[in-house]
Amino acid sequence: MYKILIIEDDRALCDNVKEGIIKWGFDTVSIENFENILEEFAKLNPHLVLMDINLPHFDGFYWCKKIRNMSKVPIIFLSSRDSNMDIIMAVNMGGDDFVTKPFSMDILLAKIQAILRRTYSYGENEGQIIECDGAILNINDGTLTYDNKKIELTKNEFKILQLLMKNRGKIISRDRIMRVLWESEYFISENTLTVNVNRLRKRLENVGLKDFIVTKKSQGYMIP
């Protein structure tokens, strides 16, 4: 089931849109805290975003650009502002479509379905990001973003973080990590894994994520 995130501060309109979308079998969620939209987006990990332009604190253009820094999730702007400049801004910030208020729910649903088909045409419904305490791992490009800092991960760094973040709160054995990294625990020195983890820890510390990965003696590693 596709999850659609509605970022709209007009509660009545938000509820109407949500009701209309739910009837078509979509899972819908909406933003309550407009100060931390990026954090909420990362936690909810939607397949598509409906974004108003006029929002409290920062406008939709600002949040669209922030989301684009970590995700390629499709974004449809909903706005009563319909000048050419607004539409150009929406496209330049990374928006995929622009719907002017007031709008027909049938038209909006048609646009949503078309973009979802185009974006997920190969059935890849899996979320594009994983979030833990503000650290955001982008599955598509192998990067980690935290506190507005973005780092490019090596193949092994990405695999380690993906495994640990997907299993947050669980201890992952060294053998399991080694199998994921090298497809076999044989003929690979355990010291090689230690070196990889220590190098990753240093890179995480450089962006403010100290003690993000915890060692469980004689058991493995985890993100608590």
Single residue among 119, 146, 171 that ends a domain in this structure: 119
Q: How confident is the model over 52-68, as pLDDT tens digits?
A: 999 999 999 999 999 99
Q: How confident is the model over 142-197, as pLDDT tens digits?
A: 899 998 888 999 989 999 999 999 999 999 999 899 888 876 444 566 788 899 99
Same domain, 136 and 218: yes
Same domain, 140 and 198: yes
Same domain, 157 and 115: no
Same domain, 13 and 114: yes
Q: Which of 42, 4, 51, 49 is nearest to 25 (CA)?
A: 4
Token pair recorded at residue 218: 């004689």
Place of tokens 């995130």: 5
Q: Which residues contact 152 (CB under 8 A, 6 or more apart)?
A: 142, 143
Residue 124 covered by a domain: no
Same domain, 110 and 133: no
CATH number at residue 187: 1.10.10.10
Same domain, 217 and 150: yes
Structural domain for 23, as ranges: 3-119
Q: b or e along 161-184 (b: 16 or more beta carbons within 10 Å of the residue's beta carbon)?
A: bbbbbeeeeeebebeebbeebeee
Place of tokens 């502002």: 81
Is the pLDDT score of 124 beyond 70?
Answer: no
Same domain, 90 and 149: no
Length of the chain: 224
CATH number at residue 22: 3.40.50.2300
pLDDT at 214 (0 to 100)? 96
**Max mean pLDDT range (7-16, 38-47, 148-157):** 7-16
Q: What is the separation of C-alpha 181 from the centre of its chain, rounded to a whole number of angstroms?
A: 24
Total number of domains in the chain: 2
Place of tokens 């994921």: 180
* 124 or 218, which is more confident: 218
Same domain, 62 and 100: yes
Same domain, 63 and 153: no
CA-CA distance, 133 to 77, in Å (whole number)?
A: 28
CA-CA distance, 150 to 167, in Å (whole number)?
A: 22
In 133-194 the beta strands, taken as DSSP E runs, fall at 135-138, 143-146, 149-152, 172-173
Omega of the bond leading into 74 within 30 degrees of 0 (cis) = no
DSSP run (H or E) holding 198: helix 190-206
- 125 pLDDT band, cuts 50/70/90, is very low
CA-CA distance, 106 to 104, in Å (whole number)?
A: 5
